[in-house]
């Protein structure tokens, strides 16, 4: 996938759900993975021609594993002309050493998002952009269906009334395979996730399940996505 296709996907999502308004200041959550780096590239490109003017900055929450190098990401942000902040935390120590969580993903995500939202607010941002793509939405629906017994998925837009932030997901129409192709084509400076449970989670199980279902029933992944969009399951206000 080239930049123009990425811009097209992103513009479609932004327009369909009114994700960006005049004067927005958007903090892009940068995990170090391909998805968030592609999202920053997309929004920076969109910024040049989108009719609603908006500001961008990038924020990384360093979980504290001590082995993830963000220097190349900092250069990437500088080259794009985007302010970049790394938040130092002890989340890894709390989750794995102190709490010894058997299922650490939920607590880690909650703490990571809390740190990101707090700094975004301090920096005057009114929106936070997450890099969830099409496959993430499908997998989240299956996780909810299998483990919670409900048909649910996160929303393209989530309004956090209590803290005065709006979460947006501009990559919602982008298939993961296209993000991978984009990251390879443009040599994005991915900083590999050092989490010890990476690749051994329920989400990884569901990812493989969806892949198998699509191999056995070609096109069903797109039908799953359409069911999410048409199913009226989004809860915008939290």
Distance of alpha carbon 200 from alpha carbon 193, whole angstroms: 13
Distance of alpha carbon 37 from alpha carbon 84, whole angstroms: 12
Flag whether pLDDT at 226 surpasses 90.
yes
Distances (CA, A) of 180 to 126, 166, 183, 212: 29, 27, 5, 19
Question: Using an 8 Å Cβ cutoff, are 169 and 13 in contact?
Answer: yes
Q: Higher confidence at residue 109 or residue 182? A: 182
Mean predicted confidence (pLDDT) in 31-58: 96
CATH class assigned to 3-230: alpha beta
Flag whether pLDDT at 35 surpasses 60.
yes
Band of pLDDT at residue 23, cut at 50, 70 and 90? very high
Q: What is the pLDDT of residues 63-101, one digit of tens each?
A: 767 667 889 999 999 999 999 999 987 777 777 766 666
Angle 80-92-182 from CA coordinates, rounded to 5°: 30
Q: Higher confidence at residue 61 or residue 43? A: 43
pLDDT at 100: 62
Distance of alpha carbon 119 from alpha carbon 125, whole angstroms: 9
Share of the chain above pLDDT 90, in %: 71
Mean predicted confidence (pLDDT) in 101-120: 81
pLDDT, mean over the chain: 90
Mean predicted confidence (pLDDT) in 39-47: 98
Flag whether pLDDT at 237 surpasses 60.
no
pLDDT at 197: 63
Taking each helix axis from N to C end, the angle separating 134-147 and 202-216, rounded to the nearest 10 degrees, works out to: 110
Q: Could you give phi then psi for residue 42, rounded to 5 degrees?
A: -65, -45
pLDDT at 209: 96
pLDDT at 138: 96
Return the number of other C-beta atoms located less than 10 Å from residue 99's C-beta.
12
Flag whether pLDDT at 115 surpasses 70.
yes
Residue whose token pair is 């707090």:
118
pLDDT at 9: 97
pLDDT at 231: 79
Share of the chain above pLDDT 70, in %: 89
Q: What is the pLDDT of residues 164-209, one digit of tens each?
A: 999 999 999 999 999 999 999 999 999 876 666 665 688 899 999 9
Mean predicted confidence (pLDDT) in 98-108: 68
Window from 59-68, 77-86, 110-119, 153-162 with minimum mean pLDDT: 59-68
pLDDT at 41: 98
């Amino acid at each position: 996938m080239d930049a123009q296709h990425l811009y097209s996907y992103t513009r479609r999502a932004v327009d369909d759900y009114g994700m960006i308004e005049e004067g927005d200041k958007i903090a892009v959550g940068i995990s170090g993975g391909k998805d968030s780096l592609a999202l920053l590239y997309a929004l920076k490109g969109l910024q040049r021609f989108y009719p609603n003017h908006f500001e961008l900055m990038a924020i990384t929450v360093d979980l504290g594993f001590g082995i993830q190098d963000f220097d190349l990401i900092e250069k990437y942000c500088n080259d794009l002309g985007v302010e970049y902040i790394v938040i130092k935390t002890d989340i890894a120590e709390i989750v794995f050493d102190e709490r010894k969580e058997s299922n650490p993903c939920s607590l880690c995500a909650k703490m990571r998002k809390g740190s990101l939202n707090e700094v975004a607010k301090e920096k005057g941002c009114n929106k936070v952009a997450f890099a969830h793509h099409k496959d993430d939405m499908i997998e989240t629906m299956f996780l909810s269906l299998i483990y919670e017994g409900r048909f649910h998925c996160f929303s393209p837009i989530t309004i956090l009334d209590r803290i005065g932030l709006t979460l947006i997901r501009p990559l919602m129409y982008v298939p993961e395979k296209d993000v991978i192709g984009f990251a390879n084509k443009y040599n994005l400076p991915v900083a590999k996730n050092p989490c010890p449970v990476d690749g051994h989670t329920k989400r990884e199980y569901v990812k493989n399940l969806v892949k198998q279902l699509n191999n056995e029933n070609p096109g069903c992944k797109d039908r799953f996505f359409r069911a999410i969009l048409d199913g009226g399951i989004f809860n915008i206000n939290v």
